[in-house]
Amino acid sequence: MQKGNEILQGKTSLLNTKFSNMDKAELLSAVIEHAKRRERANLIFVNVDVIMKMEKDDYLRQISEEAEYVLADGMPIVWISKLKGRTLKEKVSGSDFLPLLCEQAAKEHLRLFFVGGREGVAAKAAMRLADKYKGLEITGTYAPPFGFEKKPDEIAKMNQIIRESNSDILVVCLGCPKQEKYVYENQEKYQIPVSVCAGAAIDFLAGNIKRCPSWMSRYGLEWFYRFLQEPGRLFKRYFIDDMQIIRLIFKYRD
């Protein structure tokens, strides 16, 4: 597995984060090229919640700075980029990008492996994707046990399973920052060139959580739709933690 820099594009600094200023088509083309050349690429989708996590976690910020692709996963980030005169081309979320990636991977005969979700969720998502995109080869799925990140034996076991799949693209849906830290620390061990940290996308792909209507997504209301689905779990994130983004707009002049 090589590290190829010639495919990479420049980044735009915003809110103390370096974003890849790419639309979905540009990202798809670059990622497919990485996979075909077997050159390393790590994709991180950054929303407001991830930005707030990075404010408190220097290690997560370091991972973001070293990732080949850091995408703006949320209209608020795109709006802030326009406000600051550093316009990002468009919102690129993992949930929007993965179906495009699977469709193109099927055409290019590239193999995918899925990690994450509760037991059976990744397998369900894989089955639905294989039915939708004919020719898509999903080499396997794995749902690590709770607390695996603190158990070296479990991590070694997972790395071996993934490595032996001989896949081209790994989709990791373990939630932030667990997924980003796992990929950063283990990419050289599991030896798959492209790693996509996709968070809750696995639940959307499996059909366990409904995506919001497209009009709500266009107007930046996807977060509110998700809140209505899980108000108890998401109230603090959206109405307390993430509101601190207003402070960061003034803190970081970029």
Cα separation, 64 vs 18, whole angstroms = 8
User: What is the rounded average pLDDT of the residues 119-138?
Assistant: 92
pLDDT digits (tens, 9 = 90+) for 186-233: 999 999 999 999 988 888 888 887 777 888 887 788 888 888 888 888
User: What is the rounded average pLDDT of the residues 182-186?
Assistant: 98
Residue 93: C-alpha distances to residues 14, 31, 199, 200, 201 (Å): 17, 15, 10, 10, 9
Global pTM value: 0.90
Q: What's the confidence (pLDDT) of residue 118?
A: 83
Domains and CATH numbers, the chain: 17-206 (3.40.50)
3-state secondary structure of 167: coil
Task: Tell me which residue of 42, 54, 56, 41 sits closest to 14, measured CA to CA.
Answer: 54
Report the range of poorest mean pLDDT among 18-32, 82-96, 238-252.
238-252
Phi-psi region of 47 (alpha: psi -120 to 50; beta: other; left: phi over 0): beta
Residue 69 has pLDDT above 90, yes or no: yes
Percent of the chain whose pLDDT exceeds 90? 72
Q: What's the confidence (pLDDT) of residue 3?
A: 58
Task: Give the contacts of 103 (CB within 8 A, at least 6 positions apart).
Answer: 133, 136
pLDDT digits (tens, 9 = 90+) for 141-165: 999 999 999 999 999 999 999 999 9
Is 130:136 a contact under the CB 8 Å cutoff? yes
pLDDT band at 62 (very low <50, low <70, confident <90, very high): very high
User: What is the rounded average pLDDT of the residues 157-185?
Assistant: 97
Q: What's the confidence (pLDDT) of residue 219?
A: 77
Q: What's the confidence (pLDDT) of residue 86?
A: 93
pLDDT digits (tens, 9 = 90+) for 24-53: 999 999 999 999 999 999 999 999 999 999
- Look at 234 and 52; give whichever has higher pLDDT: 52
What per-residue string of b and e applies to 207-246 under the rule 16 or more CB within 10 Å gives b? eebebbeeeebeeeebbeebbeeeeeebeebbeebbeebe
Residue 175 has pLDDT above 80, yes or no: yes
User: Any bridge partners for residue 19, and if so which?
Assistant: 12
Cα separation, 174 vs 117, whole angstroms = 7
Cα separation, 161 vs 147, whole angstroms = 18
- Look at 183 and 253; give whichever has higher pLDDT: 183
User: Any bridge partners for residue 194, and if so which?
Assistant: 41, 169
